[in-house]
Chains A and B, each alone.
Chain A
Amino acid sequence: MTAPIARRGFALLSAAALAAAVAACGTDQSDDTSEETAAEDEAVVLYSGRNEELIQPILDDFTAATGIEVDVRYSGTAEAAGLLLEEGEQSPADLFLAQDAGALGAVSKAGLLSSLDEELLGRVPETYRASDGTWVGLTGRSRVLIYDPAKIAEDELPESVWDLTNEEWEGRVAIAPLNGSFQAFVTALRVESGDEAAAEWLEGMADAPQREKNGPIVEDVAAGELEAGLVNHYYIYEKAAEAGVPVEEFGPALHYFSPGDAGGLVNVSGIGALGDAAENENVAALLDYLLAAEAQTTFAESTFEYPLIEGVAGPEGQPALEELVGPEIDLNDLDDLATTVQMIQEAGLA
């Protein structure tokens, strides 16, 4: 195999440049790094694809309760997944917390995640964890239609997401095709009604306004720029909080499609352990903490997401999780995701 040699050669050459550069300007700060490595031995290293504002308070509670330090690296979920794939087995990370299942699946498929403890997995319904046990859901988020009540009357609202391709809705409902939750939802459409019907739905949405992410859809509905859009249920809460008004007075409203409709699919944010980190006591303690009543309640109260373990009340003002169950799909099935992605592209949406 010549490949590793070439790889090393190139990497060495780059390293030589770095060394020369560091020497050239005298910014060598290597003394503080050796200390860090020593101090980090016991700390849990977490790569978080979820925002610091949401996650850090929960981790602070964990450290206060157990004395275990958590060293967190925040970035976007796609960036964190890319970083892990590039680092491979050399990754300093113990845990990967992701915004959606697709990213966990990509890292798992590369063989970087190991199976989690059976008892831990058992706390979460089967739908919301990996079939091979390499990751587990932490919170659930439902797909909803967000709309401007000033523009759409309640009795006009569609019962099913399939109605959106009818002429009356053409070009009125915004989507975010690059968003992982949207892609999972399209996978649900395929599972529910077959690829052909799903492809027709996507083509029917060709004229839909597009945004890069869910957040801008919610902002633009609130600003009166959009009539409606397909998003996750919790965005409206953070936008209302920033505006300093109760969510009922914020403007836009949420509409849930009828029970069992693919449009109401529940996605998860989840976590997986890298390499043999799951065997580490401190890592196990953090996983246990995140899937116990206290942290799950905090998620429900601060981010309005659905707790996934039994016996913890769901977010206020939201329908119960059981009522929302859409078609059964394997959120971890990347081959499925690849087909979905291809269909989204073929329909010209991305």
Chain B
Amino acid sequence: MPAIVAALVPVAYLAWRTGQAGGSAIAEQLGRPRLIEATGRTLMLAGTVTAACLVIGIATAFLVSRTDLRLRAAVNLSASLPLAVPTYVAAFSWRAAFPGAEGFWISALVLTVSSFPYVHLPVAAALSRSDPALEEQSRSLGEGPWRTFFKVTLRQVAPAAVAGALLCALYVFSDFGAVSILNYRTFTQEIYVAWRLGFDHTGALVLASALVLLTLIVLAGEWAAAAPGRRARRESASSRAPVRLPLGRGRPLVYLGLAVLAVLSLGVPGWSLARWTLDGVSTADPAEVWGATWTSLYLSGAAAILTVALVVPVGLYVARRRGPLAAATERIVYVGYALPGVVIGLSLVFMAINVDWVRERFYQTAPLLVFGYAVLLLPLGMGAVKASAAQASPQLGQVAASLGAGPVRRFATITLPLTAPGIAAGAALVFLTAMKELPATLLLRPSGTETLATRLWTYTDVAAFSAAAPYAALIVVVSAVPIWLLSRRIGRQGP
């Protein structure tokens, strides 16, 4: 499967470089004085952020899909868009709003409000596909709404929630933007330190290998936790509109909570961008802005299509099969996501430069960059596809086969429609994450190609914040389009 080979590019590259570095270099890097503390800090931050994202993401998804909340499409949008805000912009905004804010809690807060959509999106997609009949039966058997939520709904969305939680945790591993601005030293920062100090990129790659090991431990933990049969398949293929729980007297409280969340995740960065625009004197060139917007659109769009094409077979495979091979396949795909983008970029440079066929055709071209996005963002697509596929009953396929439908027809008429919400959610996730990607873009892009993110970087780097503001705003606005389309589905559904 091409997706597996793609996912292995960075891992193989790191193994190669680490082997080359030799034992003494490895010992030296791993003996770095602050490494143990950095590991502990990373795990603590990832744990806290993941737990918080789970609570918030499941809550927002449930409110949007299972309650009589009004303005559901708007709420869904505001619970998805924070993912489009680059974390360094979010962190910068918080620093500007609260001078001196730094360390664990503010880092955890910023990363939580930027990454809870990783949970919200797949869980909302899962809820929109899952049959509400089970929940209704539970209610009709006299269980209250809360018990039904914990005993039935949560179990139904567990695969989606776990996939999202894993993304949160691994994202915290890879993030550099927020933690560097908020002064919280994580493992990825140690990698950058090793690199920036004396431009020693071998040392940095040895550390990146260590991060891969750390990631594998986390993935093994998730594997162990996932072992007992966790997935609940729905038994009917027809998705009926759910009975929406009335919010009742809790309504004002719910709206207040959602408003606070929107202010923390979107309001603070928005306010900061407004200040950049008003305080600065530099200006952006409209032609340049539109050029970058178009480039970002087609690169991120292509990344979404390619990633989905790569992950659909893997997602279906791991959703259908049990056993060590499927489990290992699934987790390999996640490894790249924990690595800083610059390592992914370098691994593709290495691959492309050493194979004549690729170098001559693809080096520093848009297709290689798009492939780089796919390598980096594979798990975003796969988690969503798998969660969706796991909910679809395999019996339907068996029935169709017994009626004489061939594999292509079964895929087109059964599998694809049933997993479509997951595929769409996965594509949207990839799209908006690719929009803000910077380090791999800088290494892999064709010379002269400018995306919204590279422009944002160019201008913030020389303190031209006012010129940078429209680019940051456009990253969010353009990302809003696919999310809006997705949320109309969710908003339309039901009474």
> Which residues from chain A contact B306 at a C-beta distance below 8 Å?
21, 24-25, 27
B210 interface hit (Cβ, 8 Å): no
B196 interface hit (Cβ, 8 Å): yes
Contact A92 B363, beta carbon cutoff 8 Å: yes
Does more than half of chain B's interface fall in helix, strand or loop, or is it mixed? helix
Query: Once the chains are docked, how many angstroms separate the CA of A8 from the CA of B446?
Result: 24
Q: Known contacts A78-B195, A90-B359, A92-B363; is A85 also within 8 Å of B201 by CB?
A: yes
Contact B462 A51, beta carbon cutoff 8 Å: yes
Query: Once the chains are docked, how many angstroms separate the CA of A60 from the CA of B195?
Result: 32
Query: Once the chains are docked, how many angstroms separate the CA of A223 from the CA of B95?
Result: 11
Contact A18 B366, beta carbon cutoff 8 Å: no
Binds A, one of B71-79, B242-250, B348-356: B348-356
Bitwise, A60-92 to B at CB < 8 A (1) or not (0) is: 000000000001111110110111011110111
Contact A79 B365, beta carbon cutoff 8 Å: no
A53 interface hit (Cβ, 8 Å): yes
Minimum CB–CB distance for A105 against chain B, Å = 8
Contact A27 B16, beta carbon cutoff 8 Å: no
Contact B346 A51, beta carbon cutoff 8 Å: no
Contact A75 B442, beta carbon cutoff 8 Å: yes
Query: Once the chains are docked, how many angstroms separate the CA of A13 from the CA of B197?
Result: 33
Minimum CB–CB distance for B489 against chain A, Å = 24
A350 interface hit (Cβ, 8 Å): yes
In the complex formed, the residue of A with least CB distance to B349 is A86
Minimum CB–CB distance for B119 against chain A, Å = 28
Bitwise, B350-376 to A at CB < 8 A (1) or not (0) is: 111111011101111111101100100
Bitwise, B227-254 to A at CB < 8 A (1) or not (0) is: 0000000000000000000000000000
A225 interface hit (Cβ, 8 Å): yes
Minimum CB–CB distance for B289 against chain A, Å = 15
Contact B351 A53, beta carbon cutoff 8 Å: no
Contact A30 B367, beta carbon cutoff 8 Å: yes
> Which residues from chain B contact A242 at a C-beta distance below 8 Å?
280-282, 463-466
Query: Once the chains are docked, how many angstroms separate the CA of A251 from the CA of B33?
Result: 38
Q: Known contacts A14-B9, A30-B361; is A178 also within 8 Å of B193 by CB?
A: yes
A320 interface hit (Cβ, 8 Å): no
B305 interface hit (Cβ, 8 Å): yes
Contact A17 B9, beta carbon cutoff 8 Å: yes
For A71, give its contact among B279, B281, B350, B448 (CB under 8 Å).
B448
Contact A82 B346, beta carbon cutoff 8 Å: yes
A239 interface hit (Cβ, 8 Å): yes
Contact B279 A243, beta carbon cutoff 8 Å: yes
Q: Known contacts A27-B306, A241-B281; is A45 also within 8 Å of B447 by CB?
A: yes
Minimum CB–CB distance for B202 against chain A, Å = 9
Minimum CB–CB distance for A220 against chain B, Å = 8
Minimum CB–CB distance for B144 against chain A, Å = 48
Contact A18 B362, beta carbon cutoff 8 Å: yes
Query: Once the chains are docked, how many angstroms separate the CA of A102 from the CA of B193?
Result: 15
For A334, give its contact among B198, B201, B302, B353 (CB under 8 Å).
B198
| Chain A 278-325 interface residues, beta-carbon cutoff 8 Å to B | none
Query: Once the chains are docked, how many angstroms separate the CA of A107 from the CA of B294?
Result: 35
B12 interface hit (Cβ, 8 Å): yes
Q: Known contacts A75-B443, A86-B349, A223-B99; is A350 also within 8 Å of B197 by CB?
A: yes
In the complex formed, the residue of A with least CB distance to B2 is A20
Binds B, one of A120-128, A261-269, A337-345: A337-345
For B364, give its contact among A30, A81, A92 (CB under 8 Å).
A92
Query: Once the chains are docked, how many angstroms separate the CA of A345 from the CA of B185?
Result: 14
Contact A22 B367, beta carbon cutoff 8 Å: yes
Query: Once the chains are docked, how many angstroms separate the CA of A341 from the CA of B198?
Result: 7
| Chain A 166-201 interface residues, beta-carbon cutoff 8 Å to B | 177-180, 183
Bitwise, A242-258 to B at CB < 8 A (1) or not (0) is: 11100000000000000
Minimum CB–CB distance for A135 against chain B, Å = 13
B267 interface hit (Cβ, 8 Å): no
Query: Once the chains are docked, how many angstroms separate the CA of A29 from the CA of B367?
Result: 7
Contact B357 A86, beta carbon cutoff 8 Å: no
Bitwise, B142-184 to A at CB < 8 A (1) or not (0) is: 0000000000000000000000000000000000000011010
> Which residues from chain A contact B34 at a C-beta distance below 8 Å?
348
A163 interface hit (Cβ, 8 Å): no
Contact B351 A15, beta carbon cutoff 8 Å: yes
Query: Once the chains are docked, how many angstroms separate the CA of A73 from the CA of B300?
Result: 21
For B358, give its contact among A15, A78, A180 (CB under 8 Å).
A15
Minimum CB–CB distance for B137 against chain A, Å = 42
> Which residues from chain A contact B197 at a C-beta distance below 8 Å?
177-178, 183, 341, 344-345, 350
Contact B362 A33, beta carbon cutoff 8 Å: yes
Bitwise, B404-448 to A at CB < 8 A (1) or not (0) is: 000000000000000000000000000000000001001100111
| Chain B 454-476 interface residues, beta-carbon cutoff 8 Å to A | 454, 458-459, 461-466
Q: Known contacts A51-B458, A74-B458, A78-B195; is A21 also within 8 Å of B310 by CB?
A: yes
B43 interface hit (Cβ, 8 Å): no
A152 interface hit (Cβ, 8 Å): no
Q: Known contacts A7-B16, A25-B305, A238-B462; is A78 also within 8 Å of B196 by CB?
A: yes
Contact A87 B353, beta carbon cutoff 8 Å: yes
Query: Once the chains are docked, how many angstroms separate the CA of A24 from the CA of B312?
Result: 12
> Which residues from chain A contact B200 at a C-beta distance below 8 Å?
106, 338, 341
Minimum CB–CB distance for B380 against chain A, Å = 16
Minimum CB–CB distance for B100 against chain A, Å = 6
Contact B100 A225, beta carbon cutoff 8 Å: yes
Contact A18 B358, beta carbon cutoff 8 Å: yes
Query: Once the chains are docked, how many angstroms separate the CA of A14 from the CA of B249?
Result: 57
Bitwise, A201-214 to B at CB < 8 A (1) or not (0) is: 00000000010100
A150 interface hit (Cβ, 8 Å): no
A154 interface hit (Cβ, 8 Å): no
Contact B462 A54, beta carbon cutoff 8 Å: yes
Minimum CB–CB distance for A163 against chain B, Å = 26
B316 interface hit (Cβ, 8 Å): no
| Chain B 1-17 interface residues, beta-carbon cutoff 8 Å to A | 2, 5-6, 8-9, 12-13, 16
For A82, give its contact among B5, B6, B201, B466 (CB under 8 Å).
B201
Can you report 28 residue pairs joining A to B where beta carbons are below 8 Å apart? A11-B351, A11-B354, A15-B355, A15-B357, A17-B9, A21-B309, A28-B367, A30-B365, A33-B362, A53-B459, A53-B462, A72-B447, A73-B364, A82-B195, A82-B199, A82-B443, A86-B346, A91-B353, A92-B363, A106-B198, A238-B463, A238-B464, A242-B282, A244-B281, A337-B198, A345-B33, A346-B33, A348-B34
Give the top 9 A-B pairs by smallest Cβ distance, nearest first.
A17-B5, A244-B281, A20-B2, A106-B199, A14-B351, A11-B354, A15-B355, A341-B198, A75-B442
A residues within 8 Å of B by Cβ?
6-8, 10-18, 20-22, 24-25, 27-30, 32-33, 36, 45, 51-54, 71-76, 78-79, 81-83, 85-88, 90-92, 102-103, 105-106, 177-180, 183, 210, 212, 215-216, 219-220, 223-225, 235, 238-239, 241-244, 334, 337-338, 340-341, 344-346, 348, 350
